[in-house]
Chains A and B, each alone.
Chain A
Amino acid sequence: MKILGEPVARFVYLMLAALVVTPPDAESGEWDVGGQSSLELRYFPYPTAYAGQKNMKLSPSGTIEPELIYELDGSNRFTASPFARLDANDKRRTHVDLREFNWLHLGSSWDASMGIGKVFWGVTESVHLVDIINQTDLVEDISGEEKLGQPMVNVNIEQMWGTLSLFALPGFRPRTFTSDNARLHGPLAIDTANPQYESSKGKRHVDWAGRLAVTLGDLDISISHFQGTSREPRLLLKNRGGQDVLQPYYDQIGQTGLELQLTTENTLWKAESITRSGQGKRFYATVAGFEHTFYGVAESRADIGLLVEYMYDGRDPRFAPPSIANHDIFAGFRMALNDTQDTTALLGGSWDYRSDAGFVNLEAERRLTDHLKLEVKGRFFVHVPDGDPTAFIRNDDFLELKFRWYF
């Protein structure tokens, strides 16, 4: 089984070699071994939409994600976090990845890391426009919040007013897609084995990124730029031996992002904007809104947050990968009971006011023991008309029950 792409594998070998060459000092070093595994059951209540698609009415799956940290001294650290999923019905969802495999050095006013890592950019909740360093591990969740490990060399230079981060990103990770006969998949097969790239270097193209994050009192501002292979593929219609298939095509793009957050008393005002070139005409996209929290509701310990965000995306779906957040309004409630079990729930819905398509999202969790957590997740497609980007999977509403064991 080919686990990792070739440039990624080379990177890992290099890192392993470096570890072997510099044996950790047994006197001062310290291992920390932890991680988590999970068992989940997905329930798809509605019948399949396409001939040949598996019903998967009740679909079990399990994951394991150990985390090994070796703290050499206060300023040098090695982290490894492999991930594996076994899925009863979806061969492509059964996959492994190195979420993290990196060496970190902490300097006095800078830090640097080399290896496979994960970086998050952004402030909003409904959609993460600016976040671009890591590829989405789409088979994990359609939320787009699960990410594949990305090979990188990262340097962060820090001043009291803010942080400048620079990234070299060798080795591209193609997006993962569910199996052609599985749920959360359209009618056409996706040729994930043969992705195409605009760059002649293909997945060996080295991408670059930088971000400047500044704090001005209650206002946090970040400006970022990414130059390289688009994390979002376009899916091109191809004919393979008389069969229509979709081939992922990764353009070269330049994307500049802006993040804003104003932290006032009970309200966080948030906005993200991007402008991207390389996929048809340069386009702009914005998400902006607020999160207002009512603390200690009705003299209880519970907090209730109200979230509202507006999404706009000006991309032309003929030249750019379609966005499901092009003319949408998101509203949600976040509840935290602040009890011993840290019970929380999020119920949100977004509504495309042009196509009238709706999407409802439910997430709830509660700790059962010091090591065990119960999670419930629901994704529901509401009134999705033909032509909406989510129309292909509108029968694939699901409820998910998950037990997470932390070790």
Chain B
Amino acid sequence: MKSNDTRRHSAWLLAPLGMLALLLSPVWASALTAEDKGLEIATEADQRDTGFGDFRVELTMILRNKHKQETTRLMRNTTREQADDGDKTLIVFDNPRDVKGTAFLSHTHKAGSDDQWLFLPALKRVKRISSSNKSGPFMGSEFSFEDLASQELEKYTYKYIADETYDGHDDFMIERIPTDPKSGYYRQVVWLDKAEYRVWKIDFYDRKNELLKTLTYSDYKQYLNKYWRANHMEMINHQTGKSTTLKFIGYKFAIGTTEMDFTPNRLKNAR
């Protein structure tokens, strides 16, 4: 029954060109492996999020230690989509006050390492920094740099696991394995809903294949009548008991950025 569903779903995905192939060669369709289907789902999710152009959003990050003591970080994120490469992202920090004015620029790449710069306002210094610290904590939080980097299709290999009902909606459950050996994860298990291909939950497994963190997404809103963004994310570290809440406030799309807003020189004047 399950495999039947799978086949029907792939055909739907590949329509209309795929339909022709399916009719001519039903053997090919049945040979669709879990890897193929995983990639198909990830590709569809990626396709549905392509073309947003650019956006700006304010972030509130609440860090919680195992005694539930809270610390708050405030920052602003501006992101510009690249047609044939990873996104460009600029983050300006507002709180805590000692990092106010500090700015972080990232040019993500589909292949190879990302380019990153940091602007230190006290010295007026723009520093090019190494991007290989993917698994390091971002601002002392439970999010690592790679958790927050733009999720390019090419950064993982995929495998379909099962269909599952999660939190009342029908989901695909897929596994993805980072292609970068510098990733802090051995694998991730992702729940996406079948209706809109939105991610609802990710289980992160560390290099020893032990469950490290769980990220849950909620409060999805649709922008430009197409692009879904979760306005609330919750990352729980199972090994330390710490957690981080990430709230997104005031998403604005189509804000008219240019390539020149994402240069190391412009980073000096980012606000």
CB-CB under 8 A from A145, the residues of chain B are 123
A34-B100, A160-B259, A268-B130 in contact; A338/B124 too (CB < 8 A)? no
Do residues A339 and B128 form an inter-chain contact, with CB atoms below 8 A? no
**B266 interface contact, C-beta 8 A:** yes
Q: Would you call A339 and B140 a contact (CB within 8 A)?
A: yes
Contact B135 A370 (CB under 8 A): no
Q: Please, which residue of chain A has its CB at the minimum distance from the CB of B65? A: A340
Asked whether any CB of chain B lies closer than 8 Å to the CB of A46, the reply is: no
- Contact, CB under 8 Å: A268 / B260: no
User: Which residues of chain B (126-157) have a CB below 8 Å from chain A?
Assistant: 126, 128-130, 132-133, 135-137, 140
Kindly state the separation between the CA atoms of A266 and B96 in the bound complex, as whole angstroms. Answer: 28
Neighbour of A373 across the interface among B98, B113, B260, CB < 8 A = B98
B206 closest partner in A (C-beta): A299
Is there contact, CB below 8 Å, between A303 and B133?
A: yes
Closest residue of A by beta carbon distance from B95: A370
> What residues on A are CB-neighbors of B65 within 8 Å?
340
- For A286-324 the 0/1 string (1 means CB < 8 A from B) is 000000010110000101000000000000000000000
Q: Which residues of B contact A340 (CB under 8 A)?
A: 63, 65, 71, 140
Residues of B within 8 A of A267 (CB): 130
A163 to B135 Cα, complex, angstroms: 32
Q: A163-B263, A163-B265, A301-B136 are in contact. Are A370 and B72 (CB under 8 A)?
A: yes
Contact call B98/A293, Cβ cutoff below 8 A:
no
Q: Does B238 contact A (CB under 8 A)?
A: no
B97 at the interface (CB under 8 A from A): yes
Q: Would A367 and B136 count as touching, CB distance under 8 A?
A: no
Chain A residues contacting B137 (CB-CB under 8 Å) are 301, 338
Count of interface residues, chain B, beta-carbon cutoff 8 Å? 36
Residues of chain A with a CB closer than 8 A to B100's CB:
34, 406
Cβ proximity bits A327-340 to B, threshold 8 Å, 1 near / 0 not: 00000000000111
Does A118 have its Cβ within 8 Å of any Cβ on chain B? yes
B271 contacts A by Cβ under 8 Å: yes
A292 → B minimal CB distance (Å): 9
**B125 at interface (Cβ–Cβ under 8 A)?**
yes
Q: Which residue of B lies closest to A119 (CB)?
A: B124
B residues near A264, Cβ cutoff 8 Å: 130
Interfacial chain B residues near A119, Cβ < 8 Å: 124
Determine whether the beta carbon of A293 is less than 8 Å from that of B128: no
Could you tell me if B98 and A404 are in contact, using CB atoms closer than 8 angstroms? Answer: yes
Asked whether, in the complex, the Cβ of A303 is within 8 Å of the Cβ of B136, the reply is yes
Q: Report the minimum CB–CB distance from A235 to chain B (whole Å).
A: 27
Q: How far apart are the CA atoms of A267 and B271 in the complex, in Å?
A: 29
Is B269 part of the contact surface with A, judged by Cβ < 8 Å? yes
Interface residue from B97, B132, B269 paired with A111 (Cβ < 8 Å): B269
From residue 120 to 146 of chain A, which have CB atoms closer than 8 A to chain B?
A: 120, 122, 145
The answer to whether A342 touches B140, judged by C-beta atoms less than 8 angstroms apart, is yes
Determine whether A18 belongs to the interface, using a CB cutoff of 8 Å to chain B. Answer: no
Check B113 against A296 for contact (C-beta < 8 Å): no
| B264 within 8 Å of A (CB atoms) | yes
Q: For the complex, what is the distance from the CA of A404 to the CA of B125, rounded to whole Å?
A: 20
Cβ-based interface call for B258 (8 A) = yes
| A163 contacts across to B, CB distance below 8 A | 263-265
Chain A residues whose CB sits within 8 angstroms of the CB of B263 once the complex forms? 158, 160, 163
Q: With an 8 A cutoff between CB atoms, is A232 at the interface? A: no
Check if A220 sits within 8 Å of B128, measured CB to CB.
Answer: yes
Chain B residues with CB under 8 A of A338: 136-137, 140
> In the bound complex, do residue B124 and residue A118 qualify as a contact, i.e. CB atoms below 8 Å apart?
yes
Shortest distance from the beta carbon of A127 to any chain B beta carbon, whole Å: 14
Contacts of A301 in B (CB 8 A): 136-137
A346 within 8 A of B: no
Q: Which residues of B lie under 8 Å from residue A261 when comparing CB positions?
A: 128
CA distance A140 to B4 in the complex (A): 75
Q: Is A108 in contact with chain B by the CB < 8 A criterion?
A: yes
Chain B contacts for A231, CB-based, 8 A: none
Taking CB atoms, residues of chain B closer than 8 Å to A58 are none
> What residues of B have a CB within 8 angstroms of the CB of A122 in the complex?
125
Within 8 A of B (CB), among A74-121: 77, 104, 106, 108-109, 111, 118-120
A407 / chain B contacts, CB cutoff of 8 Å = 97
Query: B199 CB to closest chain A CB, in angstroms?
Result: 25
Q: How far is the CA of A233 from the CA of B118 in the complex (A)?
A: 33
Q: A120-B125, A301-B137 are in contact. Are A295 and B132 (CB under 8 A)?
A: yes
Q: Are the C-beta atoms of B271 and A77 separated by less than 8 Å?
A: yes
By a CB distance below 8 angstroms, the chain B residues around A77 are 269, 271
> Within 8 Å CB of A104, what residues of B?
269
Chain B residue nearest in CB terms to A371? B97
B residues less than 8 Å from A406 (CB atoms)? 96-98, 100
Q: CB of A263 within 8 A of chain B?
A: yes
Q: How far is the CA of A104 from the CA of B268 in the complex (A)?
A: 11
- Tell me the minimal C-beta distance from A250 to chain B in angstroms: 23
- 13 A-B pairs with CB atoms under 8 Å apart are A69-B271, A120-B124, A156-B265, A158-B265, A160-B259, A163-B265, A265-B113, A293-B130, A295-B132, A295-B136, A303-B136, A338-B137, A340-B140
- Enumerate the 3 nearest inter-chain pairs by beta-carbon distance, A residue then B residue, closest first: A406-B97, A163-B265, A265-B132
Additional A-B contacts beyond A295-B136, A338-B136 (4; CB < 8 A)? A158-B266, A265-B182, A267-B130, A268-B130
